Structure 1
Amino acid sequence: MAEISAETDRCGIVALHPILPADFPAVGLFLHQSLNARIPAHRWVAMMSPSWQVDGPNHGFMLRDGERIVGVQLAFYSTRDRQAGTVRFCNIAAFCVLPDYRVHSLRLLRAVLAQPGYCFTDLSPSGIVQPLNLRLGFRKLDTTTALIPNMASMLSIGGMRLVTDHASIAGRLAGSDLRIFRDHRSAGAAEHVMLVDVDRYCYVIFRRDRRKNLPFFATLLHVSDPALFRKGRGQLFRHLLLQHGILFTLMELRLVRDRPLLSRLLPGHRPKMFRSADLGPEAIDYLYSELTCVSW
């Protein structure tokens, strides 16, 4: 695909291009060097190809000064079933522009948003990006978050079982839950567990997260049955501590519906935003996004 546009400033001619698979090695190296050095370039490359099948128009956009990459905005595309019908999503992610080229930053975001027919999500907007998103029509989700310490003494109510084997999880799932599992089974940041109570289950996806640069947190991304989760969450918290060495669990109340007694609400909540002409916040989740693909 040909470049989309070019602008000239004191840095030279800065061209805007869609990110295609042939660009992955160079983009991965740029993100490793300029955005997050903890993630090796080859892992950035792997993350740019999502674990689900989708016919996306690109993998985001990049800025080039000559042959040199100076800015990147990744994008993850998906097609989802909602009450309103089939909806196309575009999750914008991993935004980075070198300091001398920040004047061109808006070109990346505008290029993504100029694509018609998508509901757009930004699930990790920086402090600088948030007011810009609001001006461009994005809305904030309610990300009120409770933090709970994971303790070995925690047990589930009623003797529920916790299942971690992928084959066993897949054997219990059906319908959209099974599709979600298959699509995210090999996603780079997604971990899968299931709480089972006789003939009911709660399918949970979580990711390991950092807070204050400490990798001791689990963030819940998907909870299929909040009522059943309430009964069995103690066993999950115990599992996270003993099997993963994760000290704390972070859970947004919009996912779990109620706050555990031993938890505390965080004074500041990491923002998440979306833009859609048709969907409300209840239709937005964290699947098929950078949160399942990119571990930082």
Structure 2
Amino acid sequence: MAVLGALPPGVRCRPIREADWQGVVDCLCRGFPKRDRSYWIQALTRLAQRPPVAEFPQYGLALEKADRIVGVVLTLYTRYPGQEGDEVRCNLSSWSVDAEFRPYGAKLVTTILKRRDVTYTNISPAPATLKANWALGFRPFTTGQFAFLPAFSSAQRSCRVLEARPDLAEMAMMSDSERYILSEHSALGCRSLICIATEQRFLSY
């Protein structure tokens, strides 16, 4: 099968470099026409701002033919402190391959999945890729939906909602990994909140 076999002559799979941004954005715009160029430039810029994780790709992998980007998958690697030491997780996204080269598109993902010491996720797969993701070994971690409706929740007098900041005393109530997640999301423009129900128990968002 072309999916599992070697790539044809002149086609190669390699890490995305900063010099590839133009070609990567062109490919992503062809695959996701509802997204404009600024959306993808912002995505690549945010990936560039993240500290690299070991030897893993900073942006993802590209499929290249005659110096032209014909396929892309973006990767987001993160190191999390675990009970038995640090663990690496990787979310795959924005898998786009030009029609002529789609028989070789899975090569992008299988190349990434070779590392058995990494936990892989794809939290926003396009509907058209669900069968391919299943064939590649991904399994759904939920089949439902989560709704957050605070207006229908009974209020607690002792409940406090605070915006997470490095100088906030309540940050000390959380583990290192939770503080890391909140600070990382805040740096990307997200609003990070801490909900404290008691002085011993808390929820973070």
Residue 70 of structure 1 and its aligned partner are, at CA, apart by 1.3
C-alpha spacing 1:160/1:51, structure 2 compared with 1 (3 Å): farther
Answer whether contact 1:51 1:186 (CA < 8 A) is retained: no
Could you list the per-position Cα deviations for residues 122-173 of structure 1 after superposition, in whole angstroms to 9, with x for gaps in the alignment? Answer: 112233433333333322212422435565x8662225222236356x4321
- Classify the secondary structure of the residue corresponding to 1:157: coil
Structure 1 vs Structure 2: percent identity of aligned residues? 21
Match of 1:27 in 2: 24
Q: Which ranges in structure 2 are unaligned for 5 or more consecutive residues?
A: 1-5
CA distance in 1, matches of 2:145, 2:157: 26
Match of 1:57 in 2: 56
Match of 2:138 in 1: 138
CA distance in 2, matches of 1:185, 1:106: 34
C-alpha spacing 1:185/1:81, structure 2 compared with 1 (3 Å): same
Could you list the per-position Cα deviations for residues 30-81 of structure 1 after superposition, in whole angstroms to 9, with x for gaps in the alignment? Answer: 3245325246143132132364553342121111221221110111112222
* Structure with more strand by fraction: 1
C-alpha spacing 1:118/1:198, structure 2 compared with 1 (3 Å): closer
C-alpha spacing 1:16/1:112, structure 2 compared with 1 (3 Å): same
Higher relative contact order (CA 8 A, sep 6+): 1
C-alpha spacing 1:148/1:92, structure 2 compared with 1 (3 Å): closer
Aligned ranges for residues 160-199 of structure 1 at < 5 Å? 160-164=159-163, 166-167=165-166, 170-174=168-172, 175-176=175-176, 177-187=178-188, 190-199=190-199
C-alpha spacing 1:38/1:194, structure 2 compared with 1 (3 Å): farther
Match of 1:37 in 2: 35
C-alpha spacing 1:32/1:46, structure 2 compared with 1 (3 Å): farther
Match of 1:92 in 2: 92
User: What amino acid is aligned across from residue 204 of structure 2 in structure 1?
Assistant: Y
Residue 116 of structure 1 and its aligned partner are, at CA, apart by 4.1
If the length of structure 1 is used for normalisation, what is the TM-score? 0.56
Residue 26 of structure 1 and its aligned partner are, at CA, apart by 3.3
CA distance in 1, matches of 2:148, 2:88: 35
Residue 86 of structure 1 and its aligned partner are, at CA, apart by 2.7
Residue 97 of structure 1 and its aligned partner are, at CA, apart by 1.0
- Count of aligned residue pairs for this structure pair: 193
Alignment RMSD: 2.9
If the length of structure 2 is used for normalisation, what is the TM-score? 0.76
- Classify the secondary structure of the residue corresponding to 2:21: helix
C-alpha spacing 1:84/1:186, structure 2 compared with 1 (3 Å): same
Runs of 4+ in 1 over 4 A off after TM superposition: 148-151
- Classify the secondary structure of the residue corresponding to 2:24: helix
C-alpha spacing 1:203/1:113, structure 2 compared with 1 (3 Å): same
Instruction: Verify: 1:103 aligned to 2:94, yes or no.
Output: no
Match of 2:3 in 1: none
User: What amino acid is aligned across from residue 41 of structure 2 in structure 1?
Assistant: H
Could you list the per-position Cα deviations for residues 206-262 of structure 1 after superposition, in whole angstroms to 9, with x for gaps in the alignment? Answer: xxxxxxxxxxxxxxxxxxxxxxxxxxxxxxxxxxxxxxxxxxxxxxxxxxxxxxxxx
